[in-house]
Chains A and B, each alone.
Chain A
């Protein structure tokens, strides 16, 4: 069952063509790891999927529902209200966490429920506590982000995304800003979500983790899907030269 269908997605920043026609179909429960060198367009692709960036061209359908309407020149016109709905259904976790520093951990998790959903405070608080417990941070509920470690901050950010009951989760390099010893706790949380059968797209540089958690690997190069397949196919037996070169450079110092 397809949850997301992307056709001919393009995006340019000024003169730079970042995405050159991405076609992608995501089935419910699929876990897709997106790999690629920096500048390959992987973050932009992810950010287009929940409209943090407006796609330049192409279409995106969520749950069979084509988003936006066609304008006169064939371009797609999106209403902000529609995109706000989409963002509530497609959660996102960022490299830099983007927690709200003036709110406690539980305040961060409650914020969407209170402000966006208009949920009464006791209810939102109970829900937020549940999500914090899920990421193992029940006892940090009243701590401000400044007093949390990077790994704890990222787990709060994941709880914040989960509180909105998203149908799909986007992870944009969730461990790239972390000290090496803190990566594990965040990956463990993501793995637990994977085991629940959640649909997720993950941009990452952790090849080993991608291999274990993903059901499909997509290798992006120059804003296009260069190669894709199961983790075994892409990571162990890459067919394309650039995929091989990318993997080799990442394994240069493995032991």
Chain B
């Protein structure tokens, strides 16, 4: 027996899915911005020769890299409030969890990028009297970031997919909206097909944009060859 595809009930709920997508992008965007910033800080701390800075940073990174994101989300949403008495909305709990979680991965991307820059670049910067932070900002990071783009993109995609977990604490993201639509229309096959397609399109477009940026950087006359 052939399945009778019918997308019309799902499409009738398009506004619900659109709202879900908007919420997914909100969580992803927040976690991306915070995660990259925090990831850079964690990477710099971890690279510090001072052990009282590098050790705690390494600890945070390892804990968040080695525990399941769903456990982390539940811990922040259900456990932390008991500990400190602060209630978090699902959005805040998700944003915090995914920020730190992605930061621990971005930190490793930053660290690899910074360490891939040859020692001579530090020498050249120091020899004209630059401080460590000036060398990092002006000489090392601009080169490192360029090399990091593919790995960075990989993590960003991973992050967007991980945010679907937020549906489990009743935040109305795209997956949560899909569950609702599916139950309302009794059309799970069409609903989840549409939702998968939405994720595919968004992530595919984003990765194409990243590829363009990469190409433009490579073509702008600069090169890491020297």
User: A residues within 8 Å of B by Cβ?
Assistant: 50, 52, 80, 84-85, 87-88, 91-92, 94, 96-103, 111-112, 115-116, 144-147, 153, 157, 160-161, 164
With A102-B143, A115-B138, A147-B221 as known contacts, state yes or no: A52 contacts B126, CB within 8 Å: yes
B142 within 8 A of A: yes
**B1 at the A interface (CB under 8 A):** no
Interface contact B222-A144, CB-CB below 8 Å: yes
Please list 26 pairs of residues, one from A and one from B, whose beta carbons are closer than 8 Å in the complex, sorted by A's number: A50-B127, A52-B123, A52-B127, A80-B132, A84-B129, A84-B131, A87-B129, A97-B120, A97-B124, A97-B226, A98-B120, A98-B121, A98-B123, A98-B124, A99-B226, A101-B223, A101-B226, A116-B128, A144-B221, A144-B223, A146-B221, A146-B225, A146-B226, A147-B221, A157-B124, A161-B127
Assuming the contacts A100-B139, A102-B222, A116-B134, asked whether A94 and B123 have C-beta atoms less than 8 A apart, the reply is yes
Complex CA–CA separation, A135 to B128 (angstroms): 18
Asked whether any CB of chain A lies closer than 8 Å to the CB of B112, the reply is no
Interchain CB contact under 8 A, A85 and B142: no
Residues of A with C-beta under 8 A to B125? 100
Q: How far is the CA of A164 from the CA of B127 in the complex (A)?
A: 10
Do the beta carbons of A116 and B130 come within 8 Å of each other?
Answer: yes
Asked whether, in the complex, the Cβ of B223 is within 8 Å of the Cβ of A146, the reply is yes
Q: Which of B's residues lie within 8 Å of A, judged by CB?
A: 120-121, 123-132, 134, 138-139, 142-143, 146, 221-226
CB–CB A92/B131 < 8 A: no
Alpha-carbon distance A205/B126, docked complex (angstroms) = 25
Q: What distance in Å separates the Cβ of B133 from its nearest Cβ neighbour in chain A?
A: 10
CB nearest neighbor in A for B134: A115
Contact of B142 among A50, A99, A102 (CB under 8 A): A102
Residue from A91, A98, A103, A111 having most chain B Cβ neighbours under 10 A: A98
| Smallest CB-CB A-B distances: 4 pairs | A98-B124, A112-B128, A146-B223, A88-B129
Complex: how many Å from CA A84 to CA B129? Answer: 5
